[in-house]
Amino acid sequence: MSDYAKGLEGVTAAETQMSYIDGTAGILEYVGIPIGELGSHSTFEETVFLLWNNRLPTRAELDGFTKDLRARYRLPDGFIDRIRACPQDAQPMHVLRTLVSALALYDKNPNANDVPSAREKGLNILGCTPAIVAAFDRHRRGLDPVAPDSSLSFAENFLYMLNGTKPTPTMARAFDICMILHADHGLNNSTFTARVVISTLSDVYSALTAAIGSLRGPLHGGANEEVMVMLNEIPSVDAAEKYVMDKLERKELIMGFGHRVYKAKDPRASHLQVLAKQLATDTGNQALFEKSNKIEQIMHRERAAKGIYPNVDFYSATTYHCIGLKLDLFTPMFAMSRLAGWTGHIIEQLSDNRLFRPKAKYVGPHNAPYVPIDQRG
């Protein structure tokens, strides 16, 4: 029996204490706490503490952690010039991957990968990445950057730096919930990527840069942008039926559906669906939500039997749109949040490291002759 599992499907490649996923029952827990509870009652700051410490903080610990994170909102001196040097038509995920990597140039000890150093670097990167995304978006609009405000939460501060005005409590809370829901998710491709890189005892910047590169893929985090492209292509709720059926006929993927692990509805999709519905109503985007709902009904009829349900990316698209984010900022939002999970997994890998080095099944020739070049066909 071959031990070859294409795409490592079904292979357990690490142990983690952070996310538990039951793909059959559609359950996701962070350190044992159901994701719905965290989405309803927690904050992104508290969730990051939970993921990195395997327990909820006391009030004093949360205050201290929050203060520590807010102290890292600011970009390194001179870094803004790198953002201004980016072409205004550069894609935000390529900017993010490039500039998170560039943060290593401002670290006097970039290679330190003992656990305390990894945590410190992860916190630095988590703290200032919103400023990178916000400043680039303003740069491409011909606007000056807005300096971070350390009196604001992670969610409030990002929206403030992006728009130049403080967000409403509703929008700030909606964004905070999105950050909670995207923070960690077992050994997804980008998290596995981060673990593979750090397992060589490389550095946190290299591991997180590689993870951002993985997340951009439309089969992974890039799907939320593709969902919005699809929603924009469908002119009305009534047109959804033909649009989806034609794509299925052509054996094309309906973005935001399906999952390697979930064969039931992704619990994050359920939480985001409620949020999207509320935000769509508040912002006059009901048609967008109704289109999404209609697509889900069609896919349930056509593909639920095959275990294909909405995943986290499906309703996050409508949510991010209603918050006022541009389509090509959706995946950077996913990355900003998942920096928490990636850093947690980097810490876990460093705490009990074993170099990742799977085998490859050789299917090429053997004992082939070396033919001199002038005798080749």
Residues taking part in catalysis: 220, 259, 313
Closest to ligand SDX by CB, 113 vs 318, is: 318
- Of 74, 260, 300, 326, the residue at the interface with ligand SDX (CB under 6 A) is 260
The count of chain residues that interact with ligand SDX, using the rule CB under 6 A, is: 21
Applying CB under 6 A, does 185 fall inside the site for ligand SDX?
A: yes
- Of 5, 90, 219, 245, the residue at the interface with ligand SDX (CB under 6 A) is 219
The residue whose Cβ lies closest to ligand SDX is 258
Give the nearest distance from C-beta 108 to ligand SDX in angstroms.
Answer: 33
Residues 6+ apart with CB under 8 A from 133: 92, 96, 158, 162, 329, 332, 333, 336
Phi-psi region of 241 (alpha: psi -120 to 50; beta: other; left: phi over 0): alpha
Closest to ligand SDX by CB, 306 vs 359, is: 306
Residue range at the interface with ligand SDX (CB under 6 A); choices 73-81, 100-108, 304-312, 369-377: 304-312
Applying CB under 6 A, does 225 fall inside the site for ligand SDX?
A: no
3-state DSSP helix/strand/coil percent for the chain, to nearest 5? 60, 5, 40
Applying CB under 6 A, does 308 fall inside the site for ligand SDX?
A: yes
What are the structure tokens assigned to 10, written together?
């079904």
Applying CB under 6 A, does 312 fall inside the site for ligand SDX?
A: yes
**In the chain, which ranges are E strands?**
19-22, 27-30, 33-34
Report the alpha-carbon distance of residue 93 to residue 99 in Å, rounded: 10
Report the alpha-carbon distance of residue 216 to residue 95 in Å, rounded: 12
Applying CB under 6 A, does 271 fall inside the site for ligand SDX?
A: no
Residue (of 157, 115, 116, 113) closest to 134 by Cα position: 157
Task: Using CB under 6 A, list all residues that contact ligand SDX.
Answer: 185-186, 188, 219-221, 223, 253-261, 306, 308, 311-313
